[in-house]
């Protein structure tokens, strides 16, 4: 009755907005790294808070991660979220909620040897074996699911096969990412050719070439591409006219500006945050790695690894944006999460360059070339513990940049939602 009365009273110009209420959105999020899921959570929060979107998240990131993060947004999880299993025949009555988690994935991400070294062959081979060889079956299931759940818009963070499924189901699709996996796979293939891995068996190259070609053709079917900073080049065949735009620097917001005080770190000490994203590492830390007058907070390490009282390990569930804001320098790697959160947190980054990771140069162009907020340390220097000159030099950069108006995270979700409204209304 309420909606009927509103429909009668509102002017015609607002009728379209009313139709948009409870738009069913499927959001496919790659399980590779925390940067994709954390930025996606920020957008999910924005979508939910409008009251206009019902978000179905499809990912292999565990349900509990989303629940704990959404709880921090003061969203009533019990009231507004649920979870549905793969192949579930859940009825609309059972899932009339704002957030629904579906545990499956349509990509295999990048395979890493360790926190620095990617494995280009295993990256390609994992997708070939798990996704490409099962492509027809996966698509059949996905298309049926999209229709059964009455999905009206598809968002994708890097997952190309979801674009094909949406196209076949007649649903508009929007990439919200700085890359899609077809680009990473193309660069991985170049790497294994330079390593001469299959020069004696060229058919191995050919099967991956065919796979990547399909991924690219899937990606070309998207309705729109909203490209986050650090964006990689689009395929030459992609017609950008009216189909893409540069997105803002979406990132998680700082929640606790008093964290440093709560951690009981003396004011006279400078703070280094050490970590490599969501990856645990067997650190071989020594006290002399740290300059005099500095204190080190360490992500994803056990207390037994701490060499002195100047180092402190942190629990698994820490909220990293608050830690970045509480620190004077971050030491880690270049990933979207660290790039966006160090820029927005005003804290410079010392990074160890990664090997065989094609996204990195484009992220470096943002944090180092555009904002002058980062500098590299070689893996050899890092392992030898010669951190001091790099940390001290990075500290000079602290607070020296302003976030460009087009990048500003405070208005990011609003800008993205405006683009989605445009896609649904005009394309």
pLDDT digits (tens, 9 = 90+) for 192-234: 999 999 999 989 999 999 999 999 999 999 999 999 999 999 9
Give the integer Cα–Cα distance in Å for 82 and 99.
Answer: 6
Is pLDDT at 372 greater than 60 in this prediction?
A: yes
Report the pLDDT value the prediction gives residue 290, as an integer from 0 to 100.
97
- Whether residue 404 lies inside any domain: the answer is no
Asked if 47 and 53 count as a contact pair (C-beta separation under 8 A), the reply is: yes
Overall average pLDDT of the 34-61 stretch: 92
Number of structural domains the chain divides into: 2
- Whether residue 254 lies inside any domain: the answer is no
- Whether residue 385 lies inside any domain: the answer is yes
Report the pLDDT value the prediction gives residue 97, as an integer from 0 to 100.
58
- Whether residue 400 lies inside any domain: the answer is no
Report the pLDDT value the prediction gives residue 157, as an integer from 0 to 100.
97
- Whether residue 142 lies inside any domain: the answer is yes
Overall average pLDDT of the 396-412 stretch: 90
**Same domain for 244 and 341?**
no
**Same domain for 220 and 76?**
yes
In the structure, what pLDDT confidence band is assigned to residue 4 with cuts at 50, 70 and 90? Answer: very low
Write out pLDDT tens, residues 146-155.
999 999 999 9
Give the integer Cα–Cα distance in Å for 353 and 70.
Answer: 32
Is pLDDT at 141 greater than 60 in this prediction?
A: yes
Write out pLDDT tens, residues 43-52.
999 998 888 9
Give the integer Cα–Cα distance in Å for 329 and 306.
Answer: 19
CATH of the domain at 164: 3.40.50.2000
**Same domain for 311 and 216?**
no
Domain of residue 19 covers 9-249+410-426
Give the integer Cα–Cα distance in Å for 349 and 117.
Answer: 19
**Same domain for 235 and 278?**
no
Query: What secondary structure, in 3-state letters, does 173-229 show?
Result: EEEEECCCHHHHHHHHHHHHHHCCCCCCCHHHHHHHHHHHHHHHHHHHCCCEEEECC
Is pLDDT at 88 greater than 50 in this prediction?
A: no
């Amino acid at each position: 009755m309420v909606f009927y009365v509103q429909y009668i009273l509102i002017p015609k110009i607002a009728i379209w907005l009313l139709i948009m209420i409870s738009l069913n959105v499927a959001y496919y999020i790659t399980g590779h790294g925390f940067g994709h899921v954390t930025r996606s959570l920020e957008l999910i929060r924005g979508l939910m808070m409008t009251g206009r979107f019902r978000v179905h998240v499809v990912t292999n990131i565990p349900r509990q991660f989303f629940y704990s993060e959404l709880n921090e947004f003061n969203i009533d999880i019990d009231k507004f979220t649920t979870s549905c299993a793969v192949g579930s025949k859940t009825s609309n009555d059972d899932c009339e909620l704002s957030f629904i988690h579906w545990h499956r994935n349509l990509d295999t991400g990048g395979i890493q040897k360790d926190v620095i070294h990617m494995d280009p062959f295993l990256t390609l081979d994992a997708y070939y074996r798990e996704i490409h060889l099962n492509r027809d079956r996966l698509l059949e299931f996905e298309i049926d699911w999209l229709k059964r759940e009455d999905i009206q818009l598809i968002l994708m963070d890097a997952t190309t096969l979801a674009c094909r499924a949406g196209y076949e189901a007649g649903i508009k699709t929007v990439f919200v990412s700085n890359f899609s996996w077809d680009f990473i796979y193309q660069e991985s293939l170049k790497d294994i050719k330079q390593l001469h891995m299959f020069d004696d068996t060229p058919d191995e190259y050919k099967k991956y070439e065919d796979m990547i070609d399909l991924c690219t053709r899937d990606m070309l079917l998207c309705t729109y591409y909203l490209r986050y900073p650090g964006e990689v080049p689009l395929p030459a065949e992609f017609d950008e006219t009216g189909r893409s735009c540069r997105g803002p620097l979406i990132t998680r917001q700082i929640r606790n500006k008093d964290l440093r005080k709560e951690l009981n770190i003396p004011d006279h000490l400078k703070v280094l945050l050490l970590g490599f994203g969501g990856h645990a590492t067997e650190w071989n830390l020594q006290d002399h790695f740290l300059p005099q007058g500095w204190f080190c907070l360490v992500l994803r390490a056990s207390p037994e690894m701490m060499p002195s009282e100047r180092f402190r390990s942190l629990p698994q569930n820490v909220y990293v944006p608050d830690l970045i804001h509480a620190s004077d320098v971050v030491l880690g790697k270049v990933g979207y999460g660290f790039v966006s959160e160090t820029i927005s947190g005003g804290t410079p980054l010392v990074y160890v360059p990664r090997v065989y990771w094609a996204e990195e140069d484009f992220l470096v162009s943002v944090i180092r070339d555009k904002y002058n907020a980062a500098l590299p340390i070689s893996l050899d220097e890092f392992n030898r513990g010669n951190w001091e000159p790099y940390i001290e030099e990075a500290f000079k950069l602290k607070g020296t940049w302003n976030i460009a108006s087009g990048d500003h995270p405070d208005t990011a979700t609003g800008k993205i939602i405006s683009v989605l409204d445009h896609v649904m209304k005009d394309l």
